Amino acid sequence: MASFFNLTLDTLAPAGLSIILNDGAQYATSANVTAKISVSDEVTTGYQMKIWGTKTAETEEAASWETFAAEKAITLPDGDGLKTIYCKVRDDVGNESAAVSDTITLNSTIPAVTITGPDKSRISKVTGYDAAAFSFVCDVDFEEYTVRVVPATSSLHTAGTQIPATGGSTNVSGTEGGYKKNTAINVTVKGADLESASSGDGVKIVKVFVKNAAGTWSAA
C-alpha cells in the first residue's frame, strides 16, 4: 500500500474570460440575444458561469451559478436603450474570475413615416405639368430612405421599384445617414421618372420607406 498521494494546489482563476453579444453587433432589434462566452483555459470541466444584467437577473445577487457553456440565449431587460451584460466564471475548485461585460443597444422600434402632400394628384411629362412635390417626416432618427412605386399600400421596402432621379426627380433616396426625426425631407417626383419606375399610365402607389440605425425598415 502507498504511503503517499498527490494533491494539486490551484489558486489561479480562469483566464481570458470574454462575453460577446450577437457576434459583436452594435444593435439588437429583439430582446432575445445570444451570448458567446470563452476562456483561455484549455479544460473547462466542472466550470460554472454566472450571467447578469438580463431580464431575469438584473443584478449579480439575482444571478445563479450554472454549468459553463460557450453559448447561451439570454433576454435583455425591457425597454429600448443601451444594455450591459456581465459574466463571471469559476473553476472546479472555486477560483473565481473578475467580471467582464459587453454592451448592445436594443432598438425594437419600427419607424413610422408621415407624408404631407403631394401638391398634385396628376402629372404628365409635359414641362410645367411634369412634377409633384411632397415632404415626409419620421418619428425616429434614421440612416437611409427610399421612395418607391409599389404594388400595394401594404408593400414592404423590397417591393416595387425605386423612383430614379435621371429625369429630374429630387430626394427620392438617401444613404448619407444622420437624418433627424420630425425633420421634413422635401421630395419632387417627375413624370419621366415615375414612368421609368412603373409601366403605362394610371394610378401609381408611391411609398416612402426609412431604415433606422438598427437596420429596421418602416412598417408596411
* Element housing 191 (H / E): helix 191-196
Q: In sequence order, what E strands does 71-169 have?
A: 71-75, 81-90, 100-106, 113-116, 131-138, 144-150, 161-162
- CATH for 18-106, among 1.20.1290.10, 3.30.110.30, 2.60.40.10, 2.60.40.1120? 2.60.40.10
> Beta strand 27-28 with 100-106: parallel, antiparallel or unpaired?
parallel
pLDDT of residue 199: 86
pLDDT digit string (tens) for the chain, length 220 residues: 899 999 999 999 999 999 999 999 999 999 999 999 999 999 999 999 999 999 999 999 999 999 999 999 999 999 999 999 999 999 999 999 999 999 999 999 999 999 999 999 999 999 999 999 999 999 999 999 999 999 999 999 999 999 999 999 999 999 999 999 999 999 999 999 999 999 899 999 999 999 999 999 998 6
pLDDT of residue 86: 98
pLDDT of residue 31: 97
pLDDT of residue 220: 65
Query: In angstroms, rounded to a whole number, what is the distance separating the alpha carbons of residues 172 and 27?
Result: 27
Query: In angstroms, rounded to a whole number, what is the distance separating the alpha carbons of residues 107 and 28?
Result: 6
18-106 and 113-211 in the same fold: yes
Question: CB within 8 A of 26, min separation 6: which ones?
Answer: 104, 105
Query: In angstroms, rounded to a whole number, what is the distance separating the alpha carbons of residues 154 and 170?
Result: 24
Domain range annotation of the chain: 18-106, 113-211
Cell of 91: 473553476
- CATH for 113-211, among 2.40.10, 3.30.300, 2.60.40, 1.10.3470? 2.60.40
